[in-house]
Structure 1
Amino acid sequence: MNAFLGLIKNNGAQHARLLAGPILIIMVLSMMILPLPTFILDLLFTFNISLSVMILLVAMFTKRPLDFAAFPAVLLFATLLRLALNVASTRVVLLHGHNGPDAAGQVIEAFGHFLVGGNFAVGIIVFVILVIINFIVITKGAGRIAEVGARFTLDAMPGKQMAIDADLNAGLIGEEDARRRRNEISQEAEFYGSMDGASKFVRGDAVAGLLIMVINVIGGLVVGVAQHDLSFGEAGRVYTLLTIGDGLVAQIPALIISTAAGVVVSRVATDQDVGQQMVGQLFANPNVLFITAAIVGIMGLIPGMPHVAFLALAGLMGWGGWQIQKRQAAAKVSAAETPAHVQVAADAAAAEASWDDVSMVDPLGLEVGYRLIPLVDHGQNGELLHRIRSLRKKFAQEVGFLPPVVHIRDNLELKPNDYRILLSGVEIGQGTAAPGQWLAIDPGGVTSKLPGTPTTDPAFGLPAIWIDASQRDRAQVAGYTVVDSGTVIATHLNHLLHRHGAGLLGRQEVQQLLDRVGREAPKLIEDLVPKTVSLTTVQKLLQGLLEEEVPIRDMRTILDTISEHAPRLSAGAAVGGLPDVQELLALTRRALGRAITQQWFPGEGELRAIGLDAKLERVLNQALSTSGALEPGLAETLLRETSAAIQRQEAAGDPPVLLVSPPLRAPLSRFLRHHMPQMGVLSNAELPDERIVRITTIVGAGAR
């Protein structure tokens, strides 16, 4: 029962909020059309004043402009309400003003007699001054601030969007935070644009108030003299006082709302409201109060000045400055007595441990020394952030899946110019970069030496020199490849991404790949996973391709191959009915043979590759079929002969690719990849039939 009553109460409150706008519009139209009793008019005038005060207080206590995002709409409705009250009060004043000063209600009478002493000349002057203050000072200033704020907010939107994208790519924020910040930027632009237009309502209201007063005075004279037989002086006195009371009742709330508009658009977004900002910043420095007190005190000593007022205010300011200075000194002593690490330790001890204290390992991380921070700081327009963003896009286009976000952080334990790249918290690469200098890499065949700091290219291990910017042109002429610090780190990261692509492909990435293919070929995915093979089998297969840097962009071919051969391999499996991943991988490589061959041998020319000596091939087949491993002597001979063959192959300008029979490809690739990562091992079955093969170098020919 209580739950039912609570549900009814919540629904009632929700419907009341939904009906607030339509009810207000109906009230405004009713006031403009229907005559209102003076009692209802007094209530509405009181409500208008209360509403304006509420709007000003809400504006004062907001901490950001978007905390009062409804202000332009509130301003529009408040202006309409005030104009509708002007229409209703004008009707009452002209119809019943000849009956006495209370004919238009007690609120108008109070403003017309008590506030201006019943003197219509004073009332006119006060009304005109209020209009000038509202129209020329507050409204004009608030409108100008809103206009400039809207212009600068729109101009800054692209930069803010880029900053959000940079933070997202650097791993500083998540997708949800990025989406929220983008929404805030859009709302801020819409808010200032709305405020620029809403300020025109207030200016129009001020002009309308002035025109309504003139029309009411003239209309009152005509009605009083022509219809009610009043003298011109009596009609002028009665209707002018009532009109002034009506105008003051409308202009004072208008002035308050204009002030609220100025507060909203002129505040600076911090974690404090306007009152806290004003008090905290005006009275933050006691020296300001001391100097002001001295100036006011000297002015109070001048003959003819009101000594009591000046000297009392000077004493009050001096006492306030002394209190602030004493409070600041006590705070400094307290901070000195409590070391920072003690306070941090106390706070940590007071807090209970929670799952938020569990620190997860980042899939991919980049740690830099403090001198490299400008390269990765978006506040300093760090160029490396944009390079990493482009690098991830390029990797996704070339390899076939999106790598994890690179989480960047500074590490004071590193040397100032050092950096390191982490995969699941484990270092997979490290290097040194020199901001402001250029790395001249020797690709071979340079014509001269350069002055600088000798080093090694971290990505490919080539000899290099760190040089000054003035030596850049000379290095390029001499045949060096010259790159800046950001490019050095980005190239190293890109090289390691390709080498460790298998470690970056997790189950989540595989599932996303399958979902991507499933949008175009849903039946293929539905019949394959998990009916034919498990998600783990697909992951191991893709990781096997990536270990040898084979792109997985052609997912349709890969999945078609699995669908074709996995049922047969599962039926012939000895245990559990699971297909042999290595055999499935060999079949998949054969299906991708054209792309793999094109990767090593671009174009349509002949394939100039390395071959195995027939005798060595028989020995390897026998060793791998009997023991499954190579004896140390044979392994050493194979490494020595392969290294010599690679040198001859590269000297001739041909790619270091070894062609072997299908049974030898997988074990030889695993063995040679750890010692010679730049080498590719292909099976004869993976080569397209139309390509011509020429064996230019033989491994094992020198061992005979």
Structure 2
Amino acid sequence: MRVLFKNVSDTFNKYTEAIIGFLVVGIIGIIIIPMPSLLLDFLLVSNITIGIIILLLTLSTKNVLEFSTFPTLLLITTLFRLALNISSTRLILSEGDAGNVINAFANFVTGNNYIVGAVIFIIIVIVQLVVITNGSSRVSEVTARFTLDAMPGKQMAIDADLNTGLIDEQTAKQRRLNLQREADFYGAMDGASKFVKGDAIAGIIITVINLVGGILIFTLQNGLSAMEAIDKFGKLTIGDGLVSQIPALLISISSGILVTRSEDGNTFGKSLTEQIFSTPDVMMIASVVLLVISLVPAFPTIPFLIVALLIGSTGYLLKQNEKEELLVATEIENLSVASQKESEKDDFKVSQVEPIALEIGYGLIPLVDESREENLVNQITAIRRQCSNELGIIVNSIRIRDNLQLSPNDYVIKIKGNIVARGTIYLNKYMVLDPGNGELNIEGIPTKEPAFGINAIWIDENQKDKADLEGYTIVEPSTILVTHLKEVIKNHSYELLGRQEVKQLLDFVKEKYEVVVDELIPDIMTLGEVQKVLQGLLKENVPITDLVTILETLADNAPMIKDTEMLVEQVRQALKRTITKNYLNVEGKLPVITIHPSIEETISENTQKTMSGSIPILKPEIINKIFDNLNKAVEQSQIKGIDPVILTSPKIRIAFRNLISYNFPNLPVISITEIPNEVDIEAVGMVERI
């Protein structure tokens, strides 16, 4: 049996389109082709079954999109019901009989009294037409109007969630689709409700035709008396009307339930029980009111008393259950808090990838000992605060964990789960840095300082005094680590600036400069576009501490400029004092290396826009010559103790920076428009012609 059912199910799924097509065409056939009474009985039972199933489905759905085909189904069921009405009318008028189902309704529901049946039929039609259908139609109309009016706001909310990183692109796409489907559903229901109203009116007309036509035909042609014809066709007509209107009533109720549902994520039954029985005090007060009414002499005591006792008992039991649930919830909360505290102590707790993390070998674990005054946790907290003040970004908490796979004295720094830096320190030693002349007349373990690559030596504690007398710079191991960590944060700050961090920065600025933020976002730029500009600044070590100036510059230029690179250049010009102050020498001058005009012209003529930005497309030998000449100019300046910057024209600054970024990642490149008028420029070299 199971195999047979599976085969039938697979066949239906395979040919669903064809089967549904034949069924809809078959409904038209019912209108045209005379139906035998036995087949009509089967179809009438099927019609009632469909009405019951649709009603139960609407009670079980959690939101309207789970039954989005309802408007179309409403049209098909209405057509099916009218087709059956026409077939039953044909049988009644031609044979004076309409099958067992209609006869059963005629005798059982009407109680062998067609006048009573007529009254019941009229009541059902009035309830369906005046109450349910009109109400559902009005709700559908209003809901469709409000859904369409609310679409722009909901769309903006989806875009805002996407820009802040709360949802991904796929989720945003699905939400937009659901929003459109919801609007389409209520719009379709507004029109589909008219089908039910028209069906009720058609049912009344067909009933009158059955009654009048049957009486005339069988009195004039078959010789029945008027009273016999009225008695016979009165029952059949009312039975036929009830058989068709009861399924119509079920579907009409289903329509009303579906369009009046609130989107709370639960089925109607669950929502109803949760809300009705959510306040036991109300039920107990109602019980007292009913009890008082039962004591009034004019009212029947027993019914009111029984209902009062039932409601009062229910309210009392719910009250006790509420107390027990509150007690259990308190115990669970206490257990949850205790479990959370235990989890916080667990160094091996599995979590999602952190923006930045520090993993240390087991030999470095004493660094995080909270009993030490200068423990690693406090030092990292200070570094985070310092980076925030210097760069203007929010540095999230840095996760510290031990890693048994590392050597005891090793550590690694990870950005978003990937290793970006590593180093080795010794807790029982000190690092002595090269003073710059390459001479370290002291015994120890040769090494390199991990943050800046300076030559250094690890010495034992008993040599510390000697190194101090020699005037060497002595650094403690923990300081080496946190300095390295600080440089990693500065060099990767643009990677750590996500949409969530940008949103927090903008919220902070908005407290004092609300107009600036509201003007820019979301009318001119999205949160993601602002993030790209800020990342472009941080990528070249330009701090974003003056966020108000950045936002005002974007608000002025973004309406005309859509290219992110060009917007970054506009912001850099607005931040010229912030950019140049870090490169001034002790005399307040800006040492620069200029570029020969022929090189600038070559770069300008061969720059192309790519997915990675503006890049000069040059022959390899030309690029190598540019790098050699640049390296020569930089080395000559550094020999003199000068740390220069590269000075270019505005039109090639981006392209030249992108060209040298891999080979000279820490060499700043500025344009002439980024230097304030009051700053003196000192040329210390030139990238010669190629």
- For the aligned pair, the TM-score class normalised by the smaller chain equals 0.5 to 0.7
CA contact (8 A) 1:673 1:679 kept: no
Q: Are 1:21 and 2:12 matched, yes or no?
A: no
- Residues 369-402 of structure 1: CA deviation (Å, up to 9, x unaligned): 989759889xx99956962784469979xxxxx9
- Residues 69-89 of structure 1: CA deviation (Å, up to 9, x unaligned): 010111111111110110110
Q: How far 1:357 sits from its partner (Å)?
A: 3.4
CA contact (8 A) 1:657 1:679 kept: no
Q: Are 1:334 and 2:467 matched, yes or no?
A: no
Equivalent position SS for 2:501: strand
Equivalent position SS for 2:102: helix
CA contact (8 A) 1:498 1:549 kept: no
CA contact (8 A) 2:60 2:267 kept: yes
Query: What runs of 5+ residues in structure 1 fail to find an aligned partner?
Result: 98-102, 397-401, 407-420, 432-456, 462-481, 488-493, 503-544, 570-578, 587-619, 647-654, 683-695
Structure 2 equivalent of residue 92 of structure 1: 91
Aligned AA (2:521): R
Q: Are 1:243 and 2:376 matched, yes or no?
A: no
Structure 2 equivalent of residue 630 of structure 1: 638
Q: Are 1:118 and 2:121 matched, yes or no?
A: no
Q: How far 1:16 sits from its partner (Å)?
A: 3.8
Q: How far 1:428 sits from its partner (Å)?
A: 7.6
Q: Are 1:498 and 2:493 matched, yes or no?
A: no
Aligned AA (1:184): N
CA contact (8 A) 2:128 2:252 kept: yes
Cα gap change, 1:107 to 1:383, in 2 (>3 Å): farther
Q: How far 1:318 sits from its partner (Å)?
A: 0.6
Structure 2 equivalent of residue 565 of structure 1: 619
Equivalent position SS for 1:243: helix
Cα gap change, 1:70 to 1:217, in 2 (>3 Å): same
Q: Are 1:387 and 2:394 matched, yes or no?
A: no
Distance in 1 of aligned mates of 2:35 and 2:283: 54
Aligned AA (1:387): I
Q: Are 1:357 and 2:427 matched, yes or no?
A: no
Q: From 154, 158, 163, give the equivalent of 1:164.
A: 158
Structure 1 equivalent of residue 65 of structure 2: 66
Distance in 2 of aligned mates of 1:242 and 1:382: 77
Distance in 1 of aligned mates of 2:109 and 2:341: 57
Say how many residue pairs are matched: 496
- Residues 228-268 of structure 1: CA deviation (Å, up to 9, x unaligned): 10000100110010000000001111000000000110001
CA contact (8 A) 2:606 2:616 kept: no
Equivalent position SS for 2:111: coil
Q: How far 1:427 sits from its partner (Å)?
A: 11
Cα gap change, 1:122 to 1:220, in 2 (>3 Å): same
Cα gap change, 1:459 to 1:264, in 2 (>3 Å): closer
Q: How far 1:367 sits from its partner (Å)?
A: 2.9
Aligned AA (1:21): I
- Residues 188-211 of structure 1: CA deviation (Å, up to 9, x unaligned): 111111100100000000001111
- Residues 94-114 of structure 1: CA deviation (Å, up to 9, x unaligned): 1221xxxxx321111111111
User: Which range moved further: 40-49 or 383-392?
Assistant: 383-392
Structure 1 equivalent of residue 145 of structure 2: 151
Cα gap change, 1:248 to 1:556, in 2 (>3 Å): closer
Distance in 1 of aligned mates of 2:338 and 2:15: 48
Structure 1 equivalent of residue 682 of structure 2: 699
Cα gap change, 1:700 to 1:75, in 2 (>3 Å): closer
Distance in 2 of aligned mates of 1:8 and 1:392: 53
Report 1:481-560 matches (<5 A): 498=568, 554-555=609-610
CA contact (8 A) 2:608 2:616 kept: no
Report 1:52-451 matches (<5 A): 52-97=51-96, 103-339=97-333, 342=336, 345=339, 357-359=352-354, 361=416, 364-365=497-498, 366-367=500-501, 373=507, 383=517, 387=521, 390-391=524-525, 403=532, 429=543, 431=545
Q: How far 1:34 sits from its partner (Å)?
A: 1.6
Cα gap change, 1:375 to 1:82, in 2 (>3 Å): farther
Aligned AA (2:121): F
Distance in 2 of aligned mates of 1:329 and 1:382: 51
Distance in 2 of aligned mates of 1:34 and 1:177: 51
- Residues 318-337 of structure 1: CA deviation (Å, up to 9, x unaligned): 11111111111111111222
- Percent identity, aligned pairs only, is 33
Tell me the TM-score normalized by structure 2.
0.60
Equivalent position SS for 2:278: coil
Aligned AA (2:501): E
CA contact (8 A) 2:158 2:175 kept: yes
Equivalent position SS for 1:630: helix
Distance in 2 of aligned mates of 1:498 and 1:117: 86
Cα gap change, 1:666 to 1:355, in 2 (>3 Å): closer
Aligned AA (2:46): F
Distance in 1 of aligned mates of 2:152 and 2:219: 65
Distance in 1 of aligned mates of 2:525 and 2:606: 16
Q: Are 1:46 and 2:45 matched, yes or no?
A: yes
Cα gap change, 1:697 to 1:367, in 2 (>3 Å): closer
CA contact (8 A) 2:140 2:187 kept: yes
Equivalent position SS for 2:297: coil
Distance in 2 of aligned mates of 1:497 and 1:555: 16
Distance in 1 of aligned mates of 2:222 and 2:515: 78
- Residues 265-309 of structure 1: CA deviation (Å, up to 9, x unaligned): 000112101111111111110111011111111111111322111
Distance in 1 of aligned mates of 2:231 and 2:251: 30
CA contact (8 A) 1:363 1:404 kept: no
- Residues 156-192 of structure 1: CA deviation (Å, up to 9, x unaligned): 1122222222222222222111111111111111111
- Residues 499-532 of structure 1: CA deviation (Å, up to 9, x unaligned): 8999xxxxxxxxxxxxxxxxxxxxxxxxxxxxxx
Aligned AA (1:90): T
Distance in 2 of aligned mates of 1:315 and 1:36: 55
Equivalent position SS for 1:338: helix
Q: How far 1:20 sits from its partner (Å)?
A: 3.4
CA contact (8 A) 2:163 2:528 kept: no
Two-structure CA RMSD over aligned residues (Å): 5.3
Equivalent position SS for 2:642: helix
Distance in 2 of aligned mates of 1:137 and 1:115: 22
Distance in 1 of aligned mates of 2:626 and 2:75: 72
Aligned AA (1:252): I
Structure 2 equivalent of residue 519 of structure 1: none
Distance in 2 of aligned mates of 1:71 and 1:295: 42
CA contact (8 A) 1:62 1:273 kept: yes
Q: How far 1:38 sits from its partner (Å)?
A: 1.3
Tell me the TM-score normalized by structure 1.
0.59
Distance in 1 of aligned mates of 2:612 and 2:324: 75
CA contact (8 A) 1:169 1:389 kept: no
Distance in 2 of aligned mates of 1:584 and 1:52: 84
Distance in 2 of aligned mates of 1:358 and 1:635: 41
Report 1:449-460 matches (<5 A): 457=546
Cα gap change, 1:395 to 1:106, in 2 (>3 Å): closer
- Residues 625-648 of structure 1: CA deviation (Å, up to 9, x unaligned): xx55523x5528x89xx9xxx9xx
Cα gap change, 1:20 to 1:56, in 2 (>3 Å): farther
